[in-house]
Structure 1
């Protein structure tokens, strides 16, 4: 080794390096690694006024000559090994320049690396929400850290590991692939879908797979779960998938038992029998879209020539004809017209939720507070729930309200208009 090579090695050793504060081998119940004033394990060297460095965080500094302690840029020290010899700081290797790395690899190795950047199925772009996120070569906290992602950076995510906590990741900026953890038990959300409002709670993997059109992953999650949870913190899985136009995933969720959502597309699919649903599932995304559009047009045309509700029908007429039912979500004009035919009610409790279905566990869609009045169009079989319509920023919508509660008593009370603009409450 020449002097120049030796000098380069010494210079490289003197440069600050990044290390991962790892608890994978130590398995400590503490919150992190304690700072020290000097490279010593004595109690006097401990810095108690500062919080410990959290596990799985990244630190930068230079190693002491004996390699036992890392001197941080702020002057404090961290032990590389515990007193029992367990390593708690793992160096994150610096990535070599692309030209130098390519020169070291054979043609076969380069081809293998290019292939490893491509994961199967559609990807989705996510944004890094935490200050730093480790980029690893496997779905485990003990896997080698290939580098780090910083807050605000954008990466493309693909499939999940078996636990559903890690996802395949491609960092197009540096042309590298690996795995990232989506949520940390102490630090919270690490990555979230780009362009969406921040959701603190972990996302439902089943809903995300359906929303991103990852049909194979959706099938895997459905086969794995004994009790399928269709709810995501952002809304029902089938509604999220429909908003992204993932009709095949919507159909699969309906076949698995999803009850939420009342759009015309979902209403049309719910009218199909099990055999027809299975046949539709074999269609491509574009074929399924054309089928639904055609079915909706046919339903609208049939409804146009259907007899009015008040018209009488002679015995024997209409036999053998197929009765066309309207979609669950009616056009805004029809819903608005129905609102005039209902019975006027007033909210007499502090606040009452409007839910998608007549069920206390159904999705919440809106709320009414004490003193507000609304029209109840019909009641469910129990008589405890009433259907109503209401305005939203996108038009008219409908839902169900509980009229009385076993513990809180009356929630809504019938009232009527005296014809002069005054509301009369029954005594």
Structure 2
């Protein structure tokens, strides 16, 4: 085989990259390619993406290679690059979203070029595990967790020592970005966090103010770090979170309309309330723990996982607003916005997804008092409540003194 294109998508790294490793082993020359496709708008994630691409380019250049960047339709630009470089094959990481799979089919339909797909987006390939009783995927997490924990893992792959690229190809311009993206930062964060917090993950990951979660999710979303390598860090409680990510990916592979249709329709009657929706998005619901989470999202493009559960449950269970509204808002703003995880989690919360107890009760105030007992997370993100003492920071409407500038609750507060 002469020349192979490695089409990067959600795998912006050189460590443990099966497609890149295979191309370097089998091809005389390799063309690492990323296409900035207007059909896949990155939105708020754009600066982070650009930083990831810049770091990937440096990682490839350090090995004698290059990252070639093009703009346009991914399939058309890949085929154009094949014509320019003389490539006879395209290697890429397999993905699960409807858009990604349509792109894979279009590439495979181009008769003049071989297309090979490789694992790497998840720990366990999404289509590998099947229920023993039949079916194309696991619908319930716990049996999937058992199968996932017992599944054999492929070996971690070292980065290629050398990436030989064809001469005469224009690399393509890449706008500068100061965002903290890229494989170098991801690996540094993974190492530092594992050293300081991995052992205590089970006890500390729900502490809202403590902020002891890994914050690796944006790097996993763009594949700056291999999920298989992250899983190899150990710690069962942490591995379980990675298993949830894999679980949603195997559900999405089987149900690619997860971002639009109820996975399990239950006849919900959603309310259309533009005012309440806007208050929720702005973090002005009058329920401090919800507002703190929503304001963290607006400010950082990230939200603590426990706060995601609280804010989502408030929208669908108390305001009774369609889960698609909330999921779309999260997807627009989150640096780690990912179809499988985002929409799978939202459907779980809404009772239309893979939750085996779709009607479970949920009290935001009880959650607030349990996971932010001193109110420090609330105060950090809702400055109107910075001076409110602990007895009232969770329920400021009970304070004997009015709180200037902070709204009354949109709904009757849930019981403590």
Taking structure 1 as the reference length, the TM-score comes to: 0.23
Work out which of the two has the higher radius of gyration on C-alpha atoms and give 1 or 2: 1
Q: Name the structure with the higher helix share.
A: 2
Q: Name the structure with the higher strand share.
A: 1
Taking structure 2 as the reference length, the TM-score comes to: 0.24
Higher relative contact order (CA 8 A, sep 6+): 2
